[in-house]
Chains A and B, each alone.
Chain A
Amino acid sequence: MSSETREVIHDQHTHPSNKFYLYIGALLIGLTVLEVFGYLGEVNDVYPAGTAALIIGVLSAVKFILVVMFYMHLKFDSKVFTGIFVFPALLGTLVIVGLFMLFHVLPALLNQGHDICCP
């Protein structure tokens, strides 16, 4: 009756220890170091800017996910919190990607004379 809708989330007692958090912290430092190397690689012409952007982007995405999932405890908490976070985070990403497309990608396509509409 009342329990059919009261989904009482019994707390899972999955409290990671200090050691675990320090391990994640070390990972984060390592990833940042790699990010900076990614930058330096482009500066020293080891690879082009596009590749650098990709490398750095992936690394920072991993850092983002690590902090949100473990430091902000999202992996161990109720999925409700994940939903509340992921939806606006996706929207925010849409805003960034949308503006980037509208101000850089599409004008570049137009300038290169891509006449998409009429065969």
Chain B
Amino acid sequence: MASTATVATAPHVAAHHGPTGLWSWVTTVDHKRIGIMYGVVSFIWFLVGGLEALVVRAQLAVPNNDLVSAEFYNQLFTTHAVTMVFLALMPLTAAFFNFLVPLQIGARDVAFPRLNALSFWVFFFGSLYLNSSFLLALVPGVGPQAPNGGWFAYPPVTTLAYNPGLNMDFYVLGLQIIGLSSIIASLNFIITIINLRAPGMRLMRMPIFTWMVLVTNVLIVTALAVFTIASTQLMFDRLFGSVFYDAARSGADPLLWQHLFWMFGHPEVYILILPIMGMVSEVLPTFSRKPLFGYNVMVFSGILIGWLGWGVWSHHMFAVGLGPIADTFFALGTMLIAIPTGIKIFNWLGTMWGGAIRFTTAMLFAVAFIGMFTIGGISGVMHSVAPADLQQTDTYFVVAHLHYVFFGGTVIGLWSGMYYWYPKVFGRLLDEKLGLVHFWMTLVGMNLTFFPMHFLGLYGMPRRIFTYADNMGFNEMNMLATIGSFMIGLGTLVFAFNLFTAWKRGKIAGPNPWGAATLEWSIPSPPPEYNFRELPVVRSRMPLWEGDPTKEGGIPHGRRDEDTDDVTLGGAKVATMEYPDDESKMSAHDLGIHLPPPSYWPIVLALGITMVFGMLIFRNVDGALHNLWMGSIAGILLTVYSIYRWAFEPGHGH
């Protein structure tokens, strides 16, 4: 049987991936390496954020507990949220954007590679800065000074008058740095997607994941700017004496912060879920052997969610007394958003319906995502009824809702994406047995943790309290939630173990272990430095599923038997995997492909930017160290100098 099916690489021949060594990573501008760095760093922060949650749950396991002080508890729930949202989930999605988008659109890199590196290093330094607040515990007599005013940082409790320590200074300064990283990255991705697509890849032929990345980054570039101003105003209040939120001194309105924050905060939650919806929309078709049901509608509902997401922010403020007109407007908007979201759910179900389903771990997580996110969506619709929300606000009902959508949605979807794309990034499959353990512990654990919280909230347990009395009827459910959370923790450790060991010892993946349809699966795993030897010409939405698999020369879709290398489709053998002695071991230079050279200006500039904001914290430090705040000016000089050197750097010229 003639086998014309060719595969882009031989798994036993290492493709050329570029230079090695620490310096090559520090100066890299390669989107794949930057994606890996984002992924590794943010996964570590995910573990840190999870640890913060476990201490919270340990504290709440029994009534009247004194495992941690009330003050430290405030720091824990604040940093848990800040870490998860800004240091773990957003950058994990950025890791996927970075690695996958150029591959999915048939490009060699993003539009602005050095800017890409800059985004990573700014994020990296910012995340270290934010967490250095904990390290102040090492200073005798000081104690940890991590942010403690909630991730939403409402004044007046976060103003200097009520919060004189450094905690919220770390918050405003750290998040300014990190916000900048996101804005820079988002511009990069928007331009990449609009401008760097391979020939033939019209917008409506792009993989759905890339579409969702585009919408998400438009949201980022707009919403983060509003948060920048909100936190700049708080920063000026705390460090320079302005009175934006200082109600006692100036008659300031605390609601101003709430409006500005939630104008950012609501699009933020869509920033966290839209990419995941895109990921799941790639996983489900692959393991159902069916194209995505209703691609056009999925794209438009994604755009609609992004657009409508700007009109609902005050549903976080139903309990502040905005009045019936505002409440009605925002309640209606919130209910409306459920419609495009619901459309997506049905389209996912339609994708699976009648398909030949294969339950790999990635697929399990994707299906679980649909269920868990739907539950979160239902409690969300319950919130949208403003009068009901008056009771739910600030109770554990909200905690239940947000964790079903953030954990059951974003995290579970991310894990689906990790199992799916890990082989592409590292060339090896994650272990499926460990994956099953991870999956079940996570699914059972999360429901055990968060489902009781719906009841706790309706019974009246408030949020953000460090303990509760014995006779409130909260005891059993809190204990259940704590047990569940430790189950999640264990499952996550299994996952971490899997990630680490599969890196060197997992089964070789080959270019397309899942038989998927999009362009990234047409090149070796891991991809060579230059991605595509020749930029592909695209003729359909599913380039690898078009045409006769035995004749077109594309990767056959079907199952690849790992022992015999046969490719079967519906039980019949259609081809054999071929591993021609190919040029993937040739470097970009050998192939005559020009790649942007590495540069150290991104990391230097990132250092300058971090100094500009980071050193300002000394304005609130008394004594000998106070004048260190002028290091901010040194930071400005370093920033300006680095920008000039960057602009005139050879090899990147225009």
Contacts and interface: CB of A to CB of B under 8 A. Distances in A.
Nearest to B314: A102
B418 interface: no
* Overall SS of chain A's interface: helix
Interface string A92-103: 001100110011
Interface stretch (B159-167, B322-330, B341-349): B322-330
A44 interface: no
Contact of A1 (B194, B200, B253): B200
Given A87-B218, A91-B310, A95-B226, A106 B202 contact: no
Given A2-B537, A88-B222, A99 B259 contact: yes
A5 B202 contact: yes
A36 interface: no
A6 interface: yes
Interface string B258-289: 01000100000000000000000000000000
B108 to A, nearest CB: 17
Interface residues of B, number: 24
A11 B1 CA distance: 54
A110 B537 CA distance: 61
Interface string B541-572: 00000000000000000000000000000000
A82 to B, nearest CB: 14
Nearest to A109: B325
A2 B221 CA distance: 31
Contacts of B218: 87
B200 A102 contact: no
Interface in B274-327: 310, 314, 322-326
A45 interface: no
A5 B201 contact: yes
A2 B200 contact: yes
Contact of A106 (B194, B201, B326, B537): B326
A117 interface: yes
A6 B201 CA distance: 9
Contact of B222 (A1, A6, A91, A106): A91
Contacts of B263: 95, 98
Nearest to A3: B199
Given A87-B218, A95-B263, A106 B197 contact: no
Nearest to B321: A110
A106 B259 CA distance: 14
Nearest to B324: A117
Interface in A64-119: 80, 87-88, 91, 94-95, 98-99, 102-103, 106-107, 109-110, 116-117
Nearest to A103: B253
A1 B201 CA distance: 10
B222 A80 contact: no
A61 to B, nearest CB: 21
Interface in B495-548: 537
A5 B197 contact: yes
B199 A6 contact: yes
Given A2-B199, A91-B310, A103-B253, A80 B194 contact: yes
Interface string B189-231: 0000010010111100000000000000010011000100000
A87 B326 CA distance: 24
A91 B220 CA distance: 13
B142 to A, nearest CB: 39
Given A87-B218, A98-B259, 16 more contacts: A1-B199, A1-B200, A2-B537, A4-B202, A5-B197, A5-B202, A6-B199, A80-B194, A88-B221, A95-B226, A102-B255, A102-B322, A102-B326, A103-B253, A106-B323, A106-B325
Interface of B: 194, 197, 199-202, 218, 221-222, 226, 253, 255-256, 259, 263, 310, 314, 322-326, 328, 537
The 4 A-B residue pairs with the shortest CB-CB distance, nearest first, are A2-B199, A117-B324, A110-B323, A5-B202
7 contacts: A4-B200, A91-B310, A94-B310, A95-B263, A103-B255, A106-B322, A117-B328
